[in-house]
Amino acid sequence: MLRVENLHATVAGEPILNGVSLDVPAGEVHAIMGPNGSGKSTLAYVLSGRPGYAVTKGSASFDGRDLIAMEPFERAAAGLFLGFQYPVEIPGVSYLQFLRESLNSQRRSRGEAELSGADFIKLARSQAAAIGMDAEMLKRPVNVGFSGGEKKRAEMVQMGIIDPKFAILDETDSGLDIDALKAVGAGINSIMRKPGKGVLLITHYQRLLDYVRPDKVHVLQAGRIVRSGGPELAHELEREGYAEAAA
């Protein structure tokens, strides 16, 4: 579903990714772990098409299409979703307005009919309830005044509404308390643990993987994957640290 081969990328001319190779089949969740500065977020941004991240070598494909050649909006319309480590605030734009326009713009790009206001509100409320979030919060400006946990819950609501084929989640567990962590984990499982979907879950810690059990764990260091294994690798990293476990 997602295939990355010998991917090299720079940011402001500085090499960050130095030959990442990765294959995430449909129906699987893969976790990427690694120390600060190893290139985890850069990989997420390169795959999602964030400006300022230049691919200098290698390739990435999604559902057989050349991902690097696609514009960011084309990647989103094709079913790629990026969850941010630090979700941004958008003052003056209600979350409901933002989510409805996001969904309908993707539906238009696929030649599908837009959801009516009533149908969208029903969908938004059901997704908020599924993640344990008060739907009234969606009437507020995007992420403005939200706690860290509320931002991540809202992002899960967004993912449920958009219903992507593939989610790249960049440190979704960052800043979460235990209850929010469980809610986010349950959201990932209910939305993305389905045939024909996939997840690339970027995290520093093993704790989220107690709730979202990955099919494979990869260790990213110095811009390349240095080791891969099953879920037990995350526990090894937690015990021994990256230097020892990735040696």
pLDDT tens digits for 1-14? 999 999 999 999 99
**Residue 69: domain span:** 2-245
Q: Give the C-alpha separation, 157 to 186, whole Å.
A: 12
pLDDT of residue 247: 59
Q: What is the CATH number of the domain that holds 41?
A: 3.40.50.300
Structure tokens of 138?
Answer: 């969606």
The residue ranges of the chain whose pLDDT is under 50 are none
pLDDT of residue 42: 95
The H or E element spanning position 178 is helix 178-192
Q: Decide: pTM greater than 0.85.
A: yes
Helix (H, G, I), strand (E, B) or coil at 195: coil
Q: Say how many domains are in the chain.
A: 1
